[in-house]
Amino acid sequence: MSEQSYRVPFTDAATANLGYDRSQLQAGIVHIGPSHFARSHLLKMVHDLLPDDPRWGVKAISLRNHGIKKALEPQDYIFPLIERAEGVDKTNLVGSLIDVTVAMEDPQEAVDVLADPDIKLVTMTVTEAGYYYDKTTGNLDFSNEDIKKCLSNMDEPSTVVGLLVASLEKRMKTGAPPLTIMSCDNMDANGSVLRNVVLAYADKKDSRGLGKYIRDNITFPTTMVDRITPSTPEEFQNVADETVFNWPVVTTPMPEYALVIENNFAADMPDLVSVGATIVDDVTPYKNMKVRLLNGAHMALGCVGRVAGYDTVIDAINDPKIEKFVAGFIEEAKNTLVPLDTIDYDLYADDVLNRLKNPKITDRLWRLVRNGTEAKLDKRLLGSLSDSIANKTGHDHIAFATAAWMHHLAGVDNNGQDFDIQDPYAIDSGLQQLARAMGEDPSAIIGASNKFPAALQGNDVFKDAVQKHYKNIKRHGVLQAASLLNGLQGVPSPHAGPDSPDVING
């Protein structure tokens, strides 16, 4: 296949070869947040079912970003999806998106789109920050300035939560049918979190009937979502060419468990199972698997790879020391999962490693670790670390990843090059400064980060393991330390003189 095969000529959107007639599509879904991920994931799945059922065209709402509307409107919202892997190089046009409304430009239109009685499913990818919930209680954070502002001008909602509540109020008043609102954001219990924040906002807005209406008519299934979708590399951005479909999304082939949905629907649903989704009573084990294996491996690889001086996932994983480390990490993380007849963890673990080794996808390490301290450390590393120590199933690779995160915070790689850690929490809270000033003992960062549960902090096995790997990375560099961990070679690095013996066992 030629290198330029992704350039699908733009003739007339109406005649594009989609497998269905777009003029026959009805709008049955509203998606809030038409990101790259949404385009590669939900919009592609819906596209695949449209030939059999044209009732599920998707209208999107972007809260404030008009980029996507401006870009896609001239091509009638059709966009190319490029799937790449060894032996796979496929471009398909996706036609499920039929309109985009920018809520900040026209809040009333956004409310009307969501309140349309023909809409039976609302889906959303707005990132965890868009939920405004307090992570310790799961409740809406009323002290947040955005929420305060939104509550003070209810007619023009400026947050997704406010927008949903305003449209549910309209649905209640107009007698619209029940609705399913499905979060597709990569966070724990996304459905329950969404339900909590929507109800809290609704109860504040109207203490009379709205809360009861929502409780009786709207469901919020929890989901697990998965598809690695980096931002589109430059060589695929043919945005200056008006003769082809622009704004492609580049991604890996659809994984086995791309979308797992809790069986909790208020209304008629598109047949997502026919296009690869799984419906279950409890999403939790799938979520744990995905977060600990895939997102955990991403975090581990991101920290180790950046400290080693790599920029891309593929360059880092092609280093045999790093590949061996990541495989060991996945194995340990997998051993923390509760065995179940219904899920083949081995299969998923192999698939994660294969996806990381996909030579045709350019994913950057910074993407995997950005906002790591605030948003990723606890669920992706510390959960597995606690369980692996408690269950004695092997924890050294996870402890090594945690030590690598500490080194990563300093923003200086083993070649002495500075890099931007893209971790505002670590910078604002002084953790980066601390990491830069730290000697061979990482205790200070454990105490100061506010992220390590007391049970871990008081655990000697944890402290010994993290200290050992932290020292090894400091003395020998992350690659040599990974070799020591992998047992590949016990040769001390040139930096290790008689006063700095290898710290292999503590």
Interacting residues with ligand CS2 (CB under 6 A): 186, 226-228, 294-295, 298, 367-368
Query: Is the CB of 302 or the CB of 477 nearer to ligand CS2?
Result: 302
Q: How far is the CB of 369 from ligand CS2 (least distance, A)?
A: 8
Helix (H) or strand (E) run with residue 304 in it: helix 296-308
Query: Is the CB of 298 or the CB of 321 nearer to ligand CS2?
Result: 298
Calpha distance 379→77 (Å, rounded): 36
Q: How far is the CB of 111 from ligand CS2 (least distance, A)?
A: 30
Query: Is the CB of 94 or the CB of 294 nearer to ligand CS2?
Result: 294
Calpha distance 140→132 (Å, rounded): 6
Calpha distance 429→126 (Å, rounded): 25
Q: What is the CA radius of gyration of the chain?
A: 24
Q: How far is the CB of 127 from ligand CS2 (least distance, A)?
A: 10
Query: Is the CB of 186 or the CB of 190 nearer to ligand CS2?
Result: 186
Q: How far is the CB of 484 from ligand CS2 (least distance, A)?
A: 27
Q: Measured between alpha carbons, how far apart are the two ends of the chain, in Å?
A: 53
Residue nearest to ligand CS2 (CB): 298
- Answer whether 119's CB lies under 8 Å from 182's CB: no
Q: How far is the CB of 341 from ligand CS2 (least distance, A)?
A: 24
Q: How far is the CB of 82 from ligand CS2 (least distance, A)?
A: 16
Task: Provide the b/e sequence for 116-144 (b: ≥16 CB within 10 Å).
Answer: beebbbbbbbbebebbbbeeeebebbeee
Calpha distance 476→488 (Å, rounded): 15
Q: CB-based burial of residue 450 (10 Å sphere; 0-12 exposed, 13-18 middle, 19+ buried)?
A: exposed
Calpha distance 166→163 (Å, rounded): 5
- One-letter identity of residue 7: R
Query: Is the CB of 57 or the CB of 296 nearer to ligand CS2?
Result: 296
Alpha carbons within 13 angstroms on the beta-carbon side of residue 199 total 18
Q: How far is the CB of 194 from ligand CS2 (least distance, A)?
A: 18
Calpha distance 454→263 (Å, rounded): 36
- Answer whether 379's CB lies under 8 Å from 189's CB: no
Calpha distance 408→353 (Å, rounded): 22
Query: Is the CB of 110 or the CB of 291 nearer to ligand CS2?
Result: 291
Q: How far is the CB of 411 from ligand CS2 (least distance, A)?
A: 18
Question: What interhelical angle do 478-486 and 320-334 show, nearest 10?
Answer: 60
Query: Is the CB of 47 or the CB of 379 nearer to ligand CS2?
Result: 379
Query: Is the CB of 77 or the CB of 131 nearer to ligand CS2?
Result: 131
Q: How far is the CB of 298 from ligand CS2 (least distance, A)?
A: 4
Q: How far is the CB of 375 from ligand CS2 (least distance, A)?
A: 8
Calpha distance 257→227 (Å, rounded): 9
Task: Outline where DSSP puts E strands in 126-222.
Answer: 179-183, 218-219
- One-letter identity of residue 43: L
Query: Is the CB of 287 or the CB of 469 nearer to ligand CS2?
Result: 287
Query: Is the CB of 163 or the CB of 187 nearer to ligand CS2?
Result: 187
